[in-house]
């Protein structure tokens, strides 16, 4: 009897410990005030200090360009912020989505110059629960893809029926972009660029638990998932980019750093293989998480020039996706 009570006590303590770990994991990753950029950068492992001069110079240049603050309202009533950079009379626009715990201008100041100098307008947004956009719970692409659709509708209305839209995302923003390709999109959306996307929040966090914390995913992920569903209203594998790209009708450029330890490079091969539309894969040697455009900007930009730019000039290659 005594032995049975001891075993039961140990089991209860173990279960309580697992709940505590799951709760801690949920609070650290899902809640706006607790998800810290410096902690994410340490986990990602990329040495950003070496690129600070480049990023700072790009931000200073971009600050001097014509720009406009833009606000929209999400389907669930959040005010979402973006910054629009016009490029003359161009009707081509890049819609940019940043990574986890970042902000639009932090991730896109360097690429902004590249796109502006090649005749594109830019709309750089702060995703929900980031930057100046409202929101308590981080969406990990599942909620953000619906926000992306609202941003797309805004651009079509602003730029006109003959406009062209390119979706570009990195990390969580890339997962957002890929999940968006699975939606019914207007004909103005021509292509997408995905840089270091994860397949789903469930799978990338399972990898983080295993590789960085040396903890099993079960039952921590199951417990955390219940907390996310109860509070944020979605499940961590509800939207899986691998599933969504199977529905894509637009061409996709996949980019990933081969040395990425945060979002395993193996995920980009899964995403690429699942994609059934026109596609291209570029893996940058020795690049860590979202480091490719800094590690090898020539290869990064050439991939966009050679694959994406010709697609953006097409007028009727891809039919309207509404109703598909």
Give the bridge partners for 68, in sequence order: 84
On whether the CB atoms of residues 258 and 287 are closer than 8 A, the answer is yes
pLDDT at 215: 85
3-state secondary structure of 321: coil
Q: What is the DSSP letter of 137?
A: B
**What CATH fold (topology level) applies to the domain 31-200+239-312?**
Rossmann fold (3.40.50)
pLDDT at 43: 66
Average pLDDT over residues 63-85: 98
For 22-36, 191-205, 214-228, which range has the lowest pLDDT when averaged over its residues?
22-36
- What would the pLDDT profile of 258-277 be if each residue is shown by its tens digit? 999 899 999 999 999 999 99
- What would the pLDDT profile of 126-144 be if each residue is shown by its tens digit? 999 999 999 999 999 999 9
For 5-9, 14-18, 283-287, which range has the lowest pLDDT when averaged over its residues?
5-9
Tell me the pLDDT band of 182, cut-offs 50, 70 and 90. very high
23's CB contacts (< 8 A; 6+ apart) are 223, 224, 227
Spatial separation of the C-alpha atoms in residues 209 and 216, rounded to whole Å: 7
For 37-41, 201-205, 238-242, which range has the lowest pLDDT when averaged over its residues?
37-41
242's CB contacts (< 8 A; 6+ apart) are 199, 200, 270, 271, 274
Render 230-250 in DSSP notation, one character per residue: HHHSS-TTTS-HHHHGGG--S
Q: How is residue 195 written in tokens?
A: 């840089």
Tell me the pLDDT band of 28, cut-offs 50, 70 and 90. confident
Of 239, 231, 95, nearest to 169 by C-alpha is: 95
Q: How is residue 92 written in tokens?
A: 């081509």
If you average pLDDT over every residue of the chain, what do you get? 90
User: Can you give the pTM of this predicted structure?
Assistant: 0.90
Spatial separation of the C-alpha atoms in residues 139 and 235, rounded to whole Å: 10
Residue 3 has pLDDT above 90, yes or no: no
Residue 159 has pLDDT above 80, yes or no: yes
pLDDT at 101: 93
Spatial separation of the C-alpha atoms in residues 176 and 129, rounded to whole Å: 14
């Amino acid at each position: 009897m005594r032995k049975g009570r001891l075993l039961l006590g140990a089991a209860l303590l173990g279960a309580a410990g697992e709940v505590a770990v799951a709760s801690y994991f949920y609070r650290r990753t899902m809640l706006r005030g607790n998800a810290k950029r410096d902690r994410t950068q340490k986990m990602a492992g990329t040495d950003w200090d070496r690129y600070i001069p480049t990023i700072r110079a790009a931000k200073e240049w971009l600050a001097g360009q014509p720009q406009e603050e833009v606000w929209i309202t999400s389907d669930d009533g959040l005010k979402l912020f973006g910054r629009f950079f016009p490029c003359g009379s161009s009707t081509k626009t890049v819609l940019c989505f940043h990574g986890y715990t970042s902000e639009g201008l932090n991730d896109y100041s360097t690429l902004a110059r590249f796109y502006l100098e090649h005749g594109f307008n830019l709309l750089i947004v702060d995703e929900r629960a980031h930057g100046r956009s409202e929101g308590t719970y981080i969406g990990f692409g599942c909620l953000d893809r619906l926000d992306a659709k609202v941003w797309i509708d805004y651009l079509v209305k602003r730029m006109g029926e003959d406009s062209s839209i390119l979706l570009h995302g990195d990390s969580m923003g890339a997962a957002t972009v890929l999940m968006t390709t699975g939606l019914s999109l207007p004909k103005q959306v021509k292509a997408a660029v995905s840089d270091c996307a994860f397949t789903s929040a469930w799978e990338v966090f399972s990898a983080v638990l295993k590789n960085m914390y040396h903890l099993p995913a079960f039952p921590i992920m199951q417990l955390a998932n219940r907390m996310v569903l109860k509070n944020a209203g979605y499940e961590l594998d509800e939207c899986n980019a691998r599933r969504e790209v199977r529905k894509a009708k637009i061409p996709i450029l996949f980019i990933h750093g081969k040395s990425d330890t945060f979002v395993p490079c193996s995920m980009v091969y899964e995403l690429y293989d699942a994609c059934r539309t026109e596609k291209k894969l570029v893996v940058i040697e020795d690049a860590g998480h979202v480091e490719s455009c800094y590690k090898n900007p020539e290869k990064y930009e050439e991939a966009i020039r050679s694959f994406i730019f010709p697609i953006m000039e097409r007028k009727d290659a891809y039919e309207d996706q509404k109703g598909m």
